Amino acid sequence: MAKILNKPEIGVGLIGAGDISILHARAIAKTHGAKLVGLWNRNQDRAHQRATEFGCRNYSTPVELVNDPAIDAIFILTNLETHLEYTRLALTAGKHVLVEKPVGASVAEIEEMRELANQHDLICMPGHNYVYESSMIRTKELIETGELGQIVSAYVMYNIHHPEEVARRYPGVVRQILTHHSYILLYLVGQPVELCAMKATLHYQEYTEEDIAMVQMRLANGALAHFCASFAADDHAADPWTVMVKIIGTAGSTRYSYRDHVEIKPGLVHSQTYTAYQGSIRNEVRHFLVDCLRHGANPLSSMSDAITAQKMIEAAEKSIHDKSIVTL
């Protein structure tokens, strides 16, 4: 059980000040009893710009940030390849960590983070933001209480066009986007027992990673599940599958959609603002800082879930490579 923080104000530091830091900074500002103390970013022009925008300190090194006694919790918001390095630095300095998804580049990396957090009695929470959306939480309750009957199928769909210059900042959609699908499935209905996947690259001119991937799975209870992750094209049709999670059971079904709340102004990389997406980060940050750090709650999606999600991603990669069905 991690130490509980009972200071009047929990201090937060950000490592990495790219796009996603904007949503995290807004979420911290809206969390009662929490304050963004400062940030560190590798590129100092960006660091100055964001520190001014967020009204916080700009540290000259990550070591200086993690050693500031005013900081209790650190958000790791850099590229995937550096998550382990900065998570290790923060946990070793005695700070709680929220690390963006995909949490690590391999199962071993995520296991190391979980082990380090346990050794230091600290919380290391994966940035699995979608599960903090209220309709996901209601869906889980309906499943757990048996109100939906026997679950027969689960669908997680993602169709948001990303121009090449945005997509190339990330790995392909298997690692970058299917991670969301994997932890959502684990949260709602549990682990698949077997899986097969396919991918394609359809609209990039130079970037060689895939811009669309699909996965079929058999779950432990015999139900089937399907994932689609695409940066290739938007879905403009009626009732679009921009981001949609559907669970169908013998006694009822549920749907979560990004399109339930839309504001006509640009989001980070989206042409419109999908309110539920930003709201999920706000709820996630509040859960981490208030429910977990102040009141000792467990994250809704844990580092063990991050490890299983990573195993699902690696199984999808193996299936694509071998053209096979992989047993988990």
Ligand X SMILES: NC(=O)c1ccc[n+]([C@@H]2O[C@H](COP(=O)([O-])OP(=O)(O)OC[C@H]3O[C@@H](n4cnc5c(N)ncnc54)[C@H](O)[C@@H]3O)[C@@H](O)[C@H]2O)c1
Site of tokens 């102040």: 294
The three-point CA angle 178-305-217 to 5° equals 50
Segment interacting with ligand X (CB under 6 A) among 4-12, 37-45, 110-118, 288-296: 37-45
Instruction: State which residue, 65 or 151, has the beta carbon closest to ligand X.
Output: 65
| Pattern 38-57, ligand X, x by CB under 6 A | ---xxx--x-----------
Radius of gyration, CA atoms only, the chain:
19
Bridge partners of residue 254, in order along the sequence:
247
State which amino acid sits at residue 22. Answer: I
Contact positions with ligand X (CB under 6 A) in 286-305:
none
Contact pick of 129, 278, 301, 310 for ligand X (by CB under 6 A): 129
Contact pick of 127, 192, 267, 299 for ligand X (by CB under 6 A): 127
| Pattern 73-92, ligand X, x by CB under 6 A | ----xxxx-x----------
- In angstroms, the Cα distances linking 71 to 170, 245, 319 are 29, 36, 43
Cα distance between residue 180 and residue 258, in whole Å: 14
Q: How far is the CB of 200 from ligand X (least distance, A)?
A: 21
Structure tokens at 20: 């996603």
C-beta of residue 140 within 8 angstroms of C-beta of residue 116: no
**Total binding residues for ligand X by CB under 6 A?**
20
Dihedral sign computed on CA atoms, order 45, 75, 56, 54: positive
Instruction: State which residue, 31 or 78, has the beta carbon closest to ligand X.
Output: 78
Q: How far is the CB of 50 from ligand X (least distance, A)?
A: 8
Q: List interacting residues with ligand X (CB under 6 A).
A: 16-20, 41-43, 46, 77-80, 82, 100-101, 127, 129, 169, 176
